[in-house]
Amino acid sequence: MVRIVGNDIHGERKIIAGLAQIRGVGYMFANTILNVLKINPNQRIGYLSPEQIKSIENVIKNPSTSNFPSWFLNRRKDVETGEDKHLITSDIAFTVRNDIEREKTSGSWRGIRHMFGLKVRGQRTRCTGRKGGAVGVAKGGRVMPGREGAAAPGAEGAAAPGAEGAAAPGAEGAAISKEGSEKKEAPAAGKKEAPAAGKKEAPAADKKK
């Protein structure tokens, strides 16, 4: 293992591929470093001498000292110092986070877009960049999972009136007819039936054989 600028690189990898693992160092940047230092890019990184490793670290940290062109650097005309820099490893995320916070504090258009999570660089937003659920009209006739309660009101409204209107009248008529039959059949307690009109019973004493 070879440690370069705080990154552990496996010694069996080629130098150009191993340097490209460092955040902030791409393939072309690594190739330019090796060309400046006159190192074979196909050599295994485990065979580098300590002097070569130190020279590579110095070039990565300060590429301007090795006559690198300014367009090769990823931090040109820094806001605070105005210098051309090249950021690597954790400095990239730290600087980007500070830039965004400065834009938000100043209330610029870019800062407002960052605050609402919208696109900042003029991209389309009509058909891309949407966050959240799908936009559109919900289709009817299907019950979505977890929405069983939505079907209950319709079913209740369809079944309850018909069932109530069909069952109640019939049951009420049956109860009335049953009550009338009971009134006719049950005689009043303590009352004797009146004899038929025009008929008299003969006394038992007058009847002789």
**Better pLDDT: 12 or 162:** 12
Which amino acid, residue 14? K
How many CB atoms within 10 Å of residue 69?
Answer: 10
- Domain 2-68 listed as CATH 3.40.30.10: no
Give the tens place of pLDDT for each residue, 63-87.
Answer: 888 878 888 889 888 888 888 889 9
Token pair recorded at residue 108: 């610029």
Token pair recorded at residue 159: 């079944």
Cα 16 from Cα 19, distance rounded (Å): 5
Helices (H) and strands (E) in the chain, counts: 6, 2
Give the tens place of pLDDT for each residue, 110-136.
Answer: 999 999 989 999 999 888 888 766 656
Give the tens place of pLDDT for each residue, 19-73.
Answer: 999 999 999 999 999 998 899 988 899 888 999 999 999 999 888 888 788 888 8
Cα 34 from Cα 66, distance rounded (Å): 11
Cα 9 from Cα 3, distance rounded (Å): 6
> CA torsion, points 153, 157, 160, 165, in degrees to nearest 10?
170
Cα 175 from Cα 206, distance rounded (Å): 53
Give the tens place of pLDDT for each residue, 154-176.
Answer: 544 444 444 444 444 454 555 54
Domain boundaries, the chain: 2-68
Cα 175 from Cα 125, distance rounded (Å): 71
Residue 4 DSSP code: E
As a whole number, the mean pLDDT across the chain is: 76
Share of the chain above pLDDT 70, in %: 63
Please count the residues of the chain.
209
pLDDT at 133 (0 to 100): 64
Give how far Cα 158 sits from Cα of 55, 149, 180, Å.
84, 15, 35
Cα 143 from Cα 164, distance rounded (Å): 27
Give the tens place of pLDDT for each residue, 85-95.
Answer: 899 989 999 99
pLDDT at 41 (0 to 100): 87
